[in-house]
A and B are shown apart, each in its own frame.
Chain A
Amino acid sequence: MMEQQAKSKIQMMSGNEACALGAIAAGLRFFAGYPITPSSEIAEELARLLPRIGGSFIQMEDEIASMGAVIGASLAGKKAMTATSGPGFSLKQENIGYAAMAEVPCVIVNVMRGGPSTGLPTLPSQSDVMQARWGTHGDHPIVAVVPNSVRETFDLTVHAFNLAEKFRTPVVILMDEIIGHINEKVSLPEVTEVQVIDRERPNVPIDQFLPYQFTDSLIPPMASFGEGFRFHVTGLCHDETGFPTNNSKEIVKLLTRLNQKLEFHRDEIIQVESNYLEDAQIGIFAYGSASRSAKRAVFLARERGIPVGMLRPRVLWPFPDQEVLALAEQVSHIIVPELNLGQIAQQVEWAGRFKAEVIRVNRIDGEPIRPEDILEQIVAIYQPGN
């Protein structure tokens, strides 16, 4: 049944459905979630599919419990995921921080809708992107991926699980309602063709095992409950043994390793796509559904002979600062279209060290950004006065 669904045949499916299938292809066997528009289809699909393959689905009593259950299942050895939207993402933040601090691999899908608060439950936004980075308290790293198509949602969901496992981190999949609900033609890979990474297991005798060992890779090998290691997991600052500490040196060691862990491996994590950038004089930095409109705008501009190109992140956090700096040094302007009030535009300004002027194209009324709105800015830059 699973093989049939992932076979190389053309299907129509939504982003939410592709997310569910990508998760299963990546090895998801535990989902805990709570209904919230526009993400509920992910839970519904997994409620249907997981028991058939020996996995587990549970609708928990609230968003916070869902996140807790996901972490518990991961510590017991299962790949685990939850899915939500803005209000639920806010509720989950404390436990997301726990997963970051305790280095528990897990995946959190946020199908972004209009905010703040109850906002626009059925309409898209990209206004949780900064929250994905800093929603939980304290100095912590996080990984977030931003697919812009149904097929890419499948691929980046697999990638999210692999990053979670490899780097022992929570990973956020930032879709928006457009990507979640759009139906597109896809041809998915066979489940057997999908490259899956599992967490590194301990390779020392039990009595030498340190659950938070400082390794060269900055990533401690991970055991699961019930395998004989009998280790302690806590959200308190801890040393390599996993037990709480107030010792100044140990605290600095832990938090430094934790926050350097992803930066140290940034070349393995960062993924950007370049379109028409070789000779570009004007750049666009766009992600998610806004990048679909931007791609069209680039095409229309190129038809008019305007040298514009697009840099598109597939991974938003860690932020592709080096790539943005290179772009800012090349072009005069970077247009950042987003369904929010400029959360990533600000990031582009900082990363680009203001070497290029950043032009915001923002839409916050729950409607998609139109290619014409981006093209208008491109033309205004290239031919001012026209």
Chain B
Amino acid sequence: MNVYEKYLRKNKFPLIWCAGCGHGIVLKAILRAIDRIGLEKDKVVVVSGIGCSSRAPGYLDFNTLHTTHGRAIAFATGVKIAKPELTVIIITGDGDATAIGGNHYIHAARRNIDLSVIIFNNNIYGMTGGQVSPTTPHGKKASTAPYGSTEHSFNISGLAEAAGASFVARGTAYDAIQLDRMIEKAIRNKGFSVVEAISPCPTAFGRRNRIGNPVELLKWVKDNSVNVNKARQLSPEELEGKIVTGIFMNEQKPEYTEEYAELRRRVGFTG
């Protein structure tokens, strides 16, 4: 049995994801990370919202929770506080996490609660047919931006960093090896961890923007990725349209459930 088979609900295949979707690559990176850490399946909870990436938990042999759109982090907060010994991993998308789910994203980061959020960022709302997302680049086409988006994307990893997350990183489906190393660090971190994984959508995003087939799409990601150390030496103009990858934040900070446990002791609970 290969490492993936150990963690997959194979009887739920075939996947709903399109051929050429980046999500399968990111999902395997998560499983490699879990395997390397050696997590016990019974003690892992995978929580998702709504969208293509949010269908992932159904295929995984853990405690799985498929919630409402944008609310995975809120549900996961309840799970983690109720049973802090569980490892809680969130699989979400760019729209799920930063549009409808933005408020929960910000405040979980602020609390630095021990959750690992893997954002499958495909810059589009794929499941519902290709509508524009908060991370659709300016000028790119989507079904609700038929003339090209007049809005701009934003740094969703930077948002978590600013709000207080203790581990923040961005990787891509192109560099899958770097991705699973980041995800492993994220899960090991005792605090709010974000790994934004650029995971191209050839069907909804690629086709409409005539970027070509999945291979060309991944090549585009590779050609436009810049490591954070190199990016520091580039000008804003040179960085325009580039995907900055790497680990942006990795610090030990007080974690929410530990602080609350300390509060319980302080007010006299001895159990």
Contact = CB atoms under 8 A, between A and B. Distances in A.
B76 interface: yes
Interface stretch (B81-89, B153-161, B165-173, B189-197): B81-89
A72 B90 CA distance: 13
Interface of A: 29-30, 32, 51-54, 56, 58, 60-62, 64-78, 80, 94-95, 98, 224-236, 243-244
B1 interface: no
A225 B103 contact: no
A32 B78 CA distance: 8
B86 A233 contact: no
Please report whether the interface of chain B is mostly helix, strand, loop or mixed according to DSSP: helix
B77 A69 contact: yes
Contacts of B61: 230
Contact of B78 (A70, A98, A224, A231): A70
Contact of B76 (A53, A72, A95): A72
Interface of B: 12, 41-43, 45, 47, 57-58, 61-68, 71, 74-83, 85-86, 103-104, 106-107, 260, 263-264, 267-269, 271
A75 B45 CA distance: 11
Instruction: Specify the main secondary structure of chain A where it touches its partner.
Output: mixed
A61 B12 contact: no
Contacts of B62: 230
A229 B42 CA distance: 7
A225 B79 contact: yes
A243 B12 contact: yes
Contacts of B103: 61-62, 65
B184 to A, nearest CB: 22
A205 to B, nearest CB: 15
Contacts of A235: 66-68
A72 B78 contact: yes
B271 A236 contact: no
A226 B63 contact: yes
Contacts of A65: 71, 74, 77, 103-104, 107
Given A65-B103, A95-B71, A226-B43, A76 B267 contact: no
A76 B83 contact: yes
Given A72-B76, A72-B77, A61 B65 contact: no
Given A54-B271, A71-B75, A95-B71, A228 B42 contact: yes
The 3 closest A-B pairs by CB, nearest first: A72-B78, A68-B74, A69-B78
A56 B271 contact: no
Nearest to A78: B82
B140 to A, nearest CB: 30
B160 to A, nearest CB: 14
A13 to B, nearest CB: 21
A60 B77 contact: yes
The interface centre, meaning the residue of B58, B82, B86, B269 with most chain A CB atoms within 10 A of its CB, is B82
A51 to B, nearest CB: 5
Contact of A233 (B65, B78, B80, B260): B65
A54 B75 contact: no
A52 B106 contact: no
Contact of B82 (A30, A98, A229, A244): A30
A316 to B, nearest CB: 26
B47 A72 contact: yes
A68 B85 CA distance: 20
